[in-house]
Amino acid sequence: MKRIYSIEDACIGCHLCEVACITEHSLSKDPVKAFLHEPERPISRCTVEEWDGGVVSISTNCRHCDQPDCLRACISGAVQKNAQGVVMIDTEQCVGCWSCVMACPYGAIQRNLARKKANKCDLCPDRQSPACVDACPNRALVYREGSQK
């Protein structure tokens, strides 16, 4: 399957991937509306980590694992892997127990505390290529066929 890979040396720490992710998962798909006017701002599914004020940075994201630890840990069945290999959370079914947060070795699941629901990358089902990849100005994120490990 196609996965998102992250090239640390090309990452400039601008966080535009996070902005794009938040926008893509908002109601309006407009960054200004998403950040200012919508009742609830989505949580970014990718996480830019920085060290030493941004001298080193990398955007980390879900690997859509072959044997997802999040899926195996989920007590409600909310996490499933679809026929294309995309690992998704059914938000209705999720009970906010954070077992998936405990299990994911990539730190790729976020907690939506206001709604008590887990949140994760869905590879942007409405797009050709994920919003974070398209938004990266220095091509630090690539989307291509490849393995998890």
Partner 1 sequence: MNYLIVGNSVAAVGAIRAIRELDQQGNITVVSREKHNVYGRPLISYLLGGLITEKRMSYLPDNFYEQNRINLLLDSEVVAVDSKGKSVKLAGGDTIPYDKLLLATGGDPFIPPIEGLTDKDRIFTFTTWDDAAKLKGISADINRAVVIGGGLIGLKAAEGLNLLNKSVTVIELADRVLSSAFDRPAGKIVARKMKANGIDVITEDTVVRIEGEGGEISGVTLKSGDFILCDTVIVAIGVRPAAAFLKGSGIEVNRGIVVDNSMATSVKDIYAAGDVAEAADFFSGQKNPMPIWPDAYIQGDVAGTAMAGGAKDYEGGLAMNSIEFFKVSTISMGVTNPLNPAEYEIHTYQDIQNYQYRKIVLQDNRLVGAVLVGNVDRAGIFAGLIREKVDMTPFKDSLLSPDFGFINLSKEIRSRLFGPQGKALLSGRAEQAVGH
Residues within the interface to ligand SF4 (CB under 6 A) = 62-65, 68-70, 73-76, 78-79, 87, 89, 94-100, 104, 106, 108-109, 118, 120
Q: How far is the CB of 40 from partner 1 (least distance, A)?
A: 19
Q: Determine the Cα–Cα distance for residues 36 and 32; give it in Å rounded to an integer.
A: 6
Q: Residue 64 binds which entry of partner 1, ligand SF4, none, with Cβ cut-offs from 5 to 8 Å by kind? A: ligand SF4
Binding site for partner 1 (CB under 8 A): 1, 5-8, 47, 49-51, 56-58, 60-61, 63, 66-70, 72-73, 75-77, 80-85, 92-93, 95-107, 109-111, 142, 144-147, 149
Nearer to partner 1, 38 or 76 (CB): 76
Q: Determine the Cα–Cα distance for residues 56 and 11; give it in Å rounded to an integer.
A: 8
Contact by Cβ (8 Å): 64, 87: yes
Q: Determine the Cα–Cα distance for residues 25 and 119; give it in Å rounded to an integer.
A: 11
Q: Residue 118 binds which entry of partner 1, ligand SF4, none, with Cβ cut-offs from 5 to 8 Å by kind? A: ligand SF4
Q: How far is the CB of 103 from ligand SF4 (least distance, A)?
A: 7
Question: How long is the chain?
Answer: 149
Burial 126-139 (b: 16+ CB within 10 A, else e): eeeebbbbbbbeee
Q: Report which of 74, 61, 147, 51 is spatially closest to residue 109, judged by C-alpha positions.
A: 61
Q: Residue 67 binds which entry of partner 1, ligand SF4, none, with Cβ cut-offs from 5 to 8 Å by kind? A: partner 1
